Amino acid sequence: MDARGAIVLRQKLSRGQVEARLANMPSCLIGMEACVGAHHLSRQLLALGHDVKLIPAQFVSPFRKSHKNDFRDAEAIAEAVLRPTMRFVPTKTVEQLDLQALHRVRARLVSQRTAVINQIRAFLLERGIAVRQRLRSLRQALPDILAQRTDVLTPRMTYLIEGLMQDWHHLDERIDAVTGEIEALVAADEACQRLTSIPGVGPIIASAMVASIGNGAAFSRGRDFGAWLGLVPRQISTGDRTVLGRLSKRGNSYLRSLLIQAARVLLLWPAKWRQHSFGEWLTAASMRLHHNVLAAALANKLARIAWSVLSQNRIYEPRTVAAAG
């Protein structure tokens, strides 16, 4: 499109032809949907001197006319990238993508381990054997169950459960290996080290945050980051009437769940709340909010603190913040 928005070139290219076709063109604004492979192509085009913008797919859909096809998708992207208030996705570096890949592999392994554990519990319960909750209880009880409960466990079922135990141990080893790799990367990354100074934030949350938002430059303030994570109420307002609902649960669900887990851990130790800069707020909020609502509110506060630590290039200093407040 030209400066007026009129179409001046319409050409269909394969994925491998895009870089060669744009290599000899003058610098121009290029819009793409943020999808698999978009960050790699974005880095290639940025190296050629083009201005590349990645747009979330949900922000492109309103600009698509009529039925969906390749041409209308391209036209919708071209319209969306010209909007002055459009929100864009920063191009991720190779290091960020590596961290993101490690977290996705770890999340898949944890999910598979949970499925194996639930299957073992279900098989035992079908034979009238109930085991206490928690992973440690099942791990400790299984050897005795397989050795002593031969009255209800057939040889075939015993063999199946032993195979599932081997799968469990293998997944434990894989999870520990991936976690160790993440911790090694965190130890060598300055931004991750600053994030770990925040209460409740460890290597997993710190690395996941750096992999997702880098230095936080995509957000102008911490409130926007919390809203992007879906840690704010869903707003359905009209006129002067403001209606707030449940959590919006938008954005990065993986990072949101990690922050809520961190908040729940902090809530387990009320005696340590005063050590944090948000201790007085947390004490007052705990007296009026439901436990689940309080966990979400604390997760939102942790997210905003984390954004401030990343954007201001400093560590978390509870005494300084408390004194300033």
CA distances from 203 to 103, 226, 230, 258 (A): 11, 20, 22, 11
Residue with tokens 């992207």: 77
| pLDDT for residue 325 | 43
| Percent of the chain at pLDDT exceeding 90 | 62
* Residues 214-232: tens digit of each pLDDT: 888 889 899 999 999 999 8
Residue 267 has pLDDT above 60, yes or no: yes
CB 34 within 8 A of CB 89: yes
Please tell me what DSSP assigns to residue 93.
Answer: P
Distance of CA 146 to the CA centre of its chain: 39
Distances (CA, A) of 308 to 221, 269, 294, 303, 315: 8, 24, 21, 9, 9
Q: What pLDDT is stored for residue 324 in this prediction? A: 45
pLDDT, tens digit (0-9, with 9 covering 90-100), for 238-262: 888 888 888 888 888 999 999 999 9
What per-residue confidence (pLDDT) applies to 29?
A: 93
pLDDT at 323: 44
Provide the pLDDT for residue 24.
85
Instruction: Please give the pLDDT value at position 115.
Output: 96
pLDDT tens per residue across span 155-167:
999 999 999 999 9
Confidence of residue 279 (pLDDT cuts 50, 70, 90): confident
Strands 51-55 and 244-247: unpaired
Give the integer Cα–Cα distance in Å for 258 and 277.
21
Angle at 64 between CA 36 and CA 21, to 5 degrees: 55
Q: What is the mean pLDDT of residues 4-22?
A: 87
> What beta strand segments (E) does the chain contain?
29-33, 51-55, 233-235, 244-247
Residues contacting 325, CB < 8 A, separation 6+ = 277
Q: State residue 56's pLDDT score.
A: 92
State the DSSP code for 15. G
pLDDT digits (tens, 9 = 90+) for 287-322: 999 999 999 999 999 999 999 999 998 898 876 444
Whether the pLDDT of residue 124 is over 60: the answer is: yes
pLDDT digits (tens, 9 = 90+) for 130-147: 988 888 899 999 999 999
pLDDT-based confidence at 4, cuts 50/70/90? confident
Range 280-293 average pLDDT? 91
Token representation of residue 254: 């993986």
Cα dist from 148 to 118, 127, 143, whole Å: 21, 13, 9
pLDDT averaged over every residue in the chain: 90
Distance CA 269, CA 65 (A): 54
**Is the Cβ–Cβ distance between 293 and 269 less than 8 Å?**
no
pLDDT in the model for residue 321: 44
Structural tokens at position 204:
């997993």
What per-residue confidence (pLDDT) applies to 297? 93
Q: What is the DSSP string of 190-257?
A: HHHHHHTTSTT--HHHHHHHHHHHTTSTT-SSHHHHHHHTT-SEEE--BTTB--EEEE---S-HHHHH
Q: Are strands 233-235 and 51-55 parallel, antiparallel or unpaired?
A: unpaired
Task: Give me the numbers of helices (H) and strands (E) for the chain, helices first please.
Answer: 14, 4
Domain segments of the chain as ranges = 15-81, 94-187, 196-324
pLDDT digits (tens, 9 = 90+) for 62-112: 999 888 898 999 999 999 999 999 989 999 999 999 999 999 999 999 999
Q: Which pLDDT does position 319 carry in this prediction?
A: 63
Asked if residue 181 has pLDDT above 70, the reply is: yes
SS3 content of the chain, % helix, strand, coil (to 5): 60, 5, 35
